[in-house]
C-alpha cells in the first residue's frame, strides 16, 4: 500500500500575496477571501484601539474599502497583513482624533479566569486592577498606545510594528519602553 503525499498548504503570506494579486486584477472573490481571513484580527485590533465595537467595525470596514481602492498601490513584495494593519491603525487613529479619548473597561483583555473558589473581594480587586490598567492605557500617547497594543495584545514582532506604524524599529522600541514605564508607574499600587 502506497501512501500519497499531499503538498503542504501554501504559507499564509504567499497565499495572501496570490489573493492580493488576483484582487488587484479585479477579482472580488479573491478580495473577499482576504477580508474573511483578516477581519477577526483587525476587529480585535480596532476594538483595542477604539474601545467601542461599533467604531471598530466601522474602522475595519473603512480600512477594507480603502484597501480595495488602493490595491494598485500595494507592493506585492510586502506582506498583505502588514499593509492592511497599517491602513486599519490609521483609520483608528483618525477616528480617535474625531472624538474624545476613551478606553472602556471592555477594551482591556480579561484577567485570567477566576476559579470557582475565588472570593468576591478577590474578584472585585481584579476588576479594579483591570479598570486601572484600562485608564492607564487610555492615558498613553496615541503612538505609545498603538505600539503597546500591537506588541502586548496582538504579539506582533518589532519589525512588523515598525512597518505598521511607518517608523523604525528603534522608534518602536522607544515607544514601548516609555509606554511600559508609564504603565508600571500607573500600576505601582497594584503590585
Express each pLDDT in 85-129 by its tens digit: 999 999 998 887 666 445 554 555 555 555 556 677 777 777 787
39 or 122, which is more confident? Answer: 39
35 or 134, which is more confident? Answer: 35
- Average pLDDT, integer, range 25-46: 93
Lookup: cell for 79: 506582506
Residue 67 CB contacts under 8 Å (≥ 6 apart), including other chains: 74, 83, 84, 87
Residue 11 CB contacts under 8 Å (≥ 6 apart), including other chains: none
60 band by pLDDT with thresholds 50, 70 and 90: very high
Supply the DSSP string of 108-154, one letter for each residue. SPPPSPPPTT--HHHHHHHHHHHHHHHHHHHTS-HHHHHHHIIIIIT
- Average pLDDT, integer, range 31-44: 94
Across all residues in the chain, what is the average pLDDT?
A: 82
153 band by pLDDT with thresholds 50, 70 and 90: confident
Q: How far is CA 116 from CA 33, 113, 119, 120, 122, in A?
A: 41, 9, 9, 11, 12
Q: Rounded distance, CA 41 to CA 79, Å?
A: 15
Task: State the pLDDT at residue 132.
Answer: 80
Task: Return the closest-CA partner of residue 150 out of 179, 181, 184, 128.
Answer: 179
Task: State the pLDDT at residue 3.
Answer: 56
User: What is the CB neighbour count within 10 angstroms for residue 139?
Assistant: 14
Task: State the pLDDT at residue 50.
Answer: 87
- Average pLDDT, integer, range 147-162: 90
46 or 121, which is more confident? Answer: 46
Task: State the pLDDT at residue 100.
Answer: 47
Angular region, 114: left φ>0, alpha ψ -120 to 50, beta rest: beta
Supply the DSSP string of 80-100, one letter for each residue. HHHHHHHHHHHHHHHHHHTS-
Instruction: Please give the domain boundaries of the chain with CATH numbers for all domains.
Output: 11-98 (1.10.1740.10), 122-190 (1.10.10.10)
Q: How far is CA 3 from CA 6, 8, 45, 153, in A?
A: 9, 15, 43, 42
Contact at 8 Å (CB) between 82 and 163?
Answer: yes
- Average pLDDT, integer, range 23-51: 91
Task: State the pLDDT at residue 6.
Answer: 55
Amino acid at each position: 500500500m502506497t501512501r500519497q503525499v499531499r503538498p503542504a498548504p501554501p504559507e499564509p503570506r504567499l497565499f495572501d500575496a496570490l489573493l492580493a494579486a488576483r484582487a488587484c486584477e479585479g477579482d472580488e472573490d479573491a478580495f473577499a477571501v482576504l477580508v474573511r481571513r483578516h477581519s477577526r484580527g483587525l476587529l480585535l485590533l480596532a476594538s483595542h484601539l477604539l474601545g467601542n465595537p461599533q467604531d471598530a467595525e466601522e474602522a475595519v470596514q473603512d480600512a477594507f474599502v480603502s484597501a480595495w481602492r488602493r490595491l494598485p498601490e500595494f507592493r506585492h513584495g510586502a506582506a498583505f497583513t502588514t499593509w492592511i494593519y497599517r491602513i486599519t491603525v490609521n483609520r483608528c487613529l483618525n477616528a480617535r482624533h474625531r472624538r474624545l479619548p476613551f478606553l472602556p473597561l471592555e477594551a482591556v483583555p480579561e484577567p485570567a479566569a477566576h476559579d470557582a473558589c475565588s472570593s468576591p473581594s478577590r474578584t472585585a480587586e481584579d476588576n479594579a486592577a483591570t479598570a486601572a490598567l484600562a485608564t492607564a492605557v487610555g492615558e498613553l500617547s496615541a503612538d505609545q498606545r498603538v505600539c503597546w497594543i500591537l506588541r502586548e495584545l496582538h504579539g506582533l514582532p518589532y519589525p512588523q510594528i515598525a512597518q505598521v506604524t511607518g517608523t523604525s524599529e528603534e522608534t518602536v522600541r522607544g515607544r514601548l519602553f516609555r509606554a511600559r514605564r508609564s504603565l508600571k508607574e500607573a500600576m505601582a499600587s497594584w503590585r
